[in-house]
Amino acid sequence: MVKAWTIKWIAVLLIVGWPTMVSAQEGTSTGALADADSVDSGSEASVSAEAASENREDALDASSEEEEKDSKGWGVNASAGVSLGMGAFVAAEYVRKVRSALSIGFGGNYTIPVVDVDVSVSTGFNQNLARGGGSQVPQEFRWSDSDLSLSRSIYVVPVADINISGSLGFAIPTSTSSRAEGFYTSIQPGLSFSGNAGPVGLSYSIGFYRNFHESTTPLYDPNELDVIFRQDGAEYVSSTQVAEGGYVNVAMGLTNNFNVSYKFLEDFNFGLGFGFGDTWTYDNGTITADDEYTSSYAKPGRGHGQSMNGSLSLSYKPWKFLGFSASMSSGQPWKTDDNEGYRFPFFDFESMASNRTKLRIGISGSY
C-alpha cells in the first residue's frame, strides 16, 4: 500500500521541480567568467553566484527546517563562520592563492500581526584571514551590504501541502565596494515554493533584482585615487570625477535556487542546493556599431553574464537556540575556460586554485 506522504512527495516534485527544469533547459551559456578572487574583478555573475552560495549556507545555519513561528512575534539571530578556498591545497601557475575569511552575520525579524507580514533586517562583515585576501590591503576587513525584506505566505496547496510565499527586499549600500560603485539600492521581488514529504524538504525560489546606481560606471575622485587617463577606457567626467574604464555596473539580474534537505537522527540535517542566475549590465551607449573602432565581433548593448552555484551541507542543532554546520559550496561559470564543456556545479574540478570552491564551518544562534 502506498503511503500518504509518498504521494505528497511526488506532487511536491512535480509542482516545485518543474519550473527549475524548464528554466535550466531555456538557459544558454555565454562562456567562462572570472571568479571574484581572480584577475578579472568585474565578473558580477561569479560574484553573485558566490553570494548566493553563502546566503544559502547562512540560511541553513539559522535553521535546517521550516519551523513554527515564535508566539512572541519577533526574533534575533547571529551566525559566524570560517571559510577556506581550495586554492590553499592546490598551487596556481606561479603562487598558491590561499583565501580564508571569517564571516559574521546578524539580524532580526518582526511579524506584523494584522497582515501577518514578516519584516527582517540583516547585515554582517567579512575579515580576510590570509594575507592575499582583499583587493586593497592584506587581510582586508569588509562590511557587507545590509538587507531589509518583507515576506508573506500567499497560498498553501491543499493536496500537496506546498506553501507559496512572496517577498520584497531592499539592499542598503553599507559596504565599501557598493559605495565605490555609486550604488544606491536594489529592489528584489521574489517567489518561493516549499513543502515537506516525511523527512525530506523541498524548496524552489525565483527572484529578480533591479539595481540603481549614480552612474552606469563607477566614478572616482581623482584627488583621492590615482587613475591614468584613458587607461582601459577611463574618462574624466568632471574635475572631481573620473569614470573607471573597462567596467560597467550591473543593472539587473534573475536568480533561481533549488534546495533539498533530509532530516535524520532528530538533530541532523543534510542539505543540497543548486542555483543559477543571469545578470545584465547597463547599456551606457559608449559602444555602437557605427563606431569605426568597434570590432565586427562585438555585440553592442547590455553585457550579459551567467553563473551557477552548488552546495552540500551538514547541520547539527542539538539545542533550540544554537546550531552548527559544515558545508562545501561552489560559485562558478556554467562552462569551462575553453568554452567547450560544462562544469560540475558542486566542485570546481577545472581550476581548483581559483578558489571558486570553498569549505566552511559555522555556528548560529537564534532567539
For residue 208, count other CB atoms closer than 10 A to its CB: 13
pLDDT tens sequence for the chain (367 residues): 444 444 444 344 444 444 333 333 333 333 223 333 333 333 344 444 445 445 545 544 544 434 445 568 999 999 999 999 999 998 777 777 889 999 999 999 999 999 999 999 999 999 999 887 766 678 889 999 999 999 999 999 988 889 999 999 999 999 988 988 889 999 999 999 999 999 999 999 999 999 999 988 888 776 666 655 555 556 666 666 777 766 889 999 999 999 999 999 999 999 999 999 999 999 877 667 777 777 777 777 888 999 999 999 999 999 999 999 999 999 999 998 888 899 999 999 988 888 999 999 999 999 9
CA atoms of 198 and 201, how far apart (whole Å): 8
Are 42 and 170 contacting, i.e. CB atoms less than 8 angstroms apart? no
Give the contacts of 311 (CB within 8 A, at least 6 positions apart).
Answer: 53, 56, 57, 271, 272, 273, 274, 327, 328, 329, 330, 346
Residue for grid cell 574618462: 235
Q: What is the pLDDT of residue 183?
A: 94
What confidence score (pLDDT) does residue 181 get?
85
Q: Do strands 74-85 and 117-128 pair parallel, antiparallel, or not at all (unpaired)? A: unpaired
User: Which residue carries 548593448 as its cell?
Assistant: 301
Task: List 262's β-bridge partners, or say none.
Answer: 200, 270
Provide the pLDDT for residue 326.
98
How is residue 64 annotated by DSSP? S
The C-alpha cell at 190 is 521574489
Which residue type sits at 98? V
The whole-angstrom separation of Cα 301 and Cα 299 is 7
Query: Which tens digits make up the pLDDT trace of 299-358?
Result: 778 889 999 999 999 999 999 999 999 999 999 999 988 888 999 999 999 888 889 999
CA 204 to chain centre: 15
Give residue 72's pLDDT. 80
Helix and strand element counts for the chain (H, E)? 3, 16
Burial 148-187 (b: 16+ CB within 10 A, else e): bbebeeeeeeeebebbebebebebbbebebbeebbbebbe
Q: Could you tell me which residues come within 8 angstroms of residue 351 by beta carbon, excluding any fewer than 6 positions away? A: 337
- The radius of gyration of the chain's CA atoms, rounded to the nearest angstrom, is 22
Residue closest to 313 by CA, chosen among 362, 258, 265, 266: 362
> What is the reported pTM?
0.78
